[in-house]
Amino acid sequence: MKSHNIKLFVPILAGLVVAGIIAMYETAESNGLLNHALEAAAPVQNGKPAPDFTLQDINGVTHRLSDYRGKVVMLNFWATWCPPCIKEVPEYSELQTEYGPQGLQVLGIALDDEGLSRVKPWVAKHTVDYPILLPDSKVTAAYGDMASIPVTFIIDRKGIIRTSYVGIRKKDVVEGIIKPVLAEQ
């Protein structure tokens, strides 16, 4: 009988541990604590010109960062397997729709190892109102170690990285970052 109780107890305990970890993650994320902990890992390139790149999107269209000079660019490194990344995609689509007319351009760079075969079907099932690009080794090297994702860079109209951050941010926080940059001419 004792062996039977242990067999029941172990899965229940494991489930409670997993639930506790998820609850702690959600609490830390909602309070901004997770973002502050990850902030130290952000690539330190603020104030420098954003490295130019030439990449294709999931439809084969070529995009150069320099083609977006004159716009404020939100460059987001993400992946389809990353829960925080997936959580911010709808908000970034909303930002593109709301602030695109003021000069915002969101660009996503999908870091999935499987590349196009994984990313294109994912995008087809979700609403993404901005280009999703496929990386090469040059762009990931130029923007720094992507040990943690998502990583987002805000690039001003002159091509200068104004800020960068690792981890998810709530939409209103991102708006507070991009509005002053959009207001600059």
Residue 93, domain CATH = 3.40.30.10
Task: Please report the pLDDT score of residue 5 as a whole number.
Answer: 58
List the domain range (segments joined by +) for residue 16: 2-31
- Flag whether 36 is in a domain: no
* Distance of alpha carbon 120 from alpha carbon 123, whole angstroms: 5
- Flag whether 37 is in a domain: no
CA 173 to centroid of chain Cα atoms: 14
Residues 6+ apart with CB under 8 A from 30: none
- Flag whether 111 is in a domain: yes
- Flag whether 112 is in a domain: yes
Q: Is residue 23 located within the same domain as residue 47?
A: no
Q: What is the pTM of this model?
A: 0.76
- Flag whether 164 is in a domain: yes
Tell me the average confidence (pLDDT) per consecutive run of 10 residues in the chain, 185 residues long.
Answer: 55 47 46 40 70 97 97 97 96 97 98 96 96 94 88 96 94 96 92
| Strand boundaries in the chain, DSSP class E | 54-56, 62-64, 72-78, 104-110, 132-133, 151-155, 161-166
Q: Which two tokens stand for residue 108?
A: 């996503």
- Flag whether 17 is in a domain: yes
Helix (H) or strand (E) holding 95: helix 83-99
Q: Is residue 12 located within the same domain as residue 66?
A: no
Q: Is residue 162 located within the same domain as residue 79?
A: yes
Q: Is residue 17 located within the same domain as residue 79?
A: no
* Distance of alpha carbon 163 from alpha carbon 78, whole angstroms: 17
- Provide the number of structural domains found in the chain: 2
Task: Please report the pLDDT score of residue 51 as a whole number.
Answer: 95
Q: Is residue 143 located within the same domain as residue 73?
A: yes
